[in-house]
Amino acid sequence: MLRKKRVLYISVSVIILLFIIDIIASFYFYHLAIARNQKDFLQGNEDLEVSAQALDEMLEGDWRDWVREQNFETWNMTSYDGLKLQGYYLPAKKETNKTVIFAHGYLGRGLDMGMFGQHYYEELGYNMFTADLRGHGESEGDYIGFGWHDRLDYVDWIHRVIEEQGEDAEIVLHGVSMGAATVLMASGEKLPNNVKAIVADSPYTSVYDMFAYQMDRMFHLPSFPLLPSTSAVTKVRAGYGLKEASAVEQVKKTDIPILFIHGSADTFVPTRMSEALYAQTNSDKELIIFDGAGHGEAFVTHKEDYIEKLHEFLHNRNL
């Protein structure tokens, strides 16, 4: 009997210890990836290494000078939950009803999308709007929404663009990485008919799937039980769960045409996630995989083909 009690005591103690470790780890991963702070853990991440060509373009490309030379209007908005958000609007040289709305990637800023915006503006003659997602740039927020709460912010930004452009506005949503997930998550909301097309470059299927992939790849840890408990912490601290933040579930509901773009050599967000999203999308859709391109770099490494496919997609939708 004494031996059984001792075994029971040890077992209960181990369970309690593991539970405490799990809770501590959950807060750690929340702080690491979701809380707004310096993300040093990404430095030296091989999955985020890009080609020398892409690195030069991203850091020192002519598009940066182009952005500085433009007279962007600063737009401000209060989100549905009281955050002050900031966006940037650039009217086209020649009056048009066509506008591209951009969404940037993790730890980026709205004007980073000038790399793509320069082409829409100079070559396609579009108005351009881009925003700092919550928890980024000049927008408020002490957490990163990974697209989930941002999707509702973008619904509001879309309406703001329509107010500016008029009821005949025609809008293209274009996002990269987390921004791609953001516009896909927005696609499942009740959007005005003015939104004519979506371009999603290197998106993930859901925040849970993305974290599970990175948990294994970066830390060699199983997703269970760490991710369910991290999701619970995120629900309390940031107001959303990792599984509910799903681009897959949102694209099932949309009727907006979507162009999915991914690089075959993307090891940060695996190519299979775009393939899964494409498979679950019920609207008009296309999937283009650029051979050898890493995460979010296809616009640089395969620029001519990227632009050709983009133009073809937009042209076929009368945009």
Least Cα distance to 174 among 78, 292, 309 occurs for 309
**pLDDT tens digits, one per residue of 182-236:** 999 999 999 999 999 999 999 999 999 999 999 998 888 888 888 999 999 999 9
If one counts every other C-beta atom within 10 angstroms of the C-beta of residue 131, the result is: 32
Q: What is the pLDDT of residue 224?
A: 86
Distance of alpha carbon 157 from alpha carbon 42, whole angstroms: 30
User: pLDDT for 271-289, tens place per residue?
Assistant: 999 999 999 999 999 999 9
pLDDT for 151 beyond 70: yes
Mean pLDDT is lowest, of 21-25, 121-125, 182-186, 225-229, for: 21-25
CB atoms within 10 A of CB 163: 10
Domain ranges of the chain: 51-206+245-315
Q: Can you give the pLDDT at residue 20? A: 72
pTM of the model: 0.92
pLDDT in tens, 76-113: 999 999 999 999 999 999 999 999 999 999 999 999 99
- List alpha helices for the chain, DSSP H: 2-29, 52-60, 62-69, 114-122, 148-165, 178-187, 207-219, 226-238, 247-251, 271-280, 298-301, 303-315
C-alpha to C-alpha distance for 108 and 47, rounded to whole angstroms: 17
Work out whether strand 127-131 and strand 170-176 pair parallel, antiparallel, or are unpaired.
Answer: unpaired
What is the CATH architecture of 51-206+245-315?
3-Layer(aba) Sandwich (3.40)
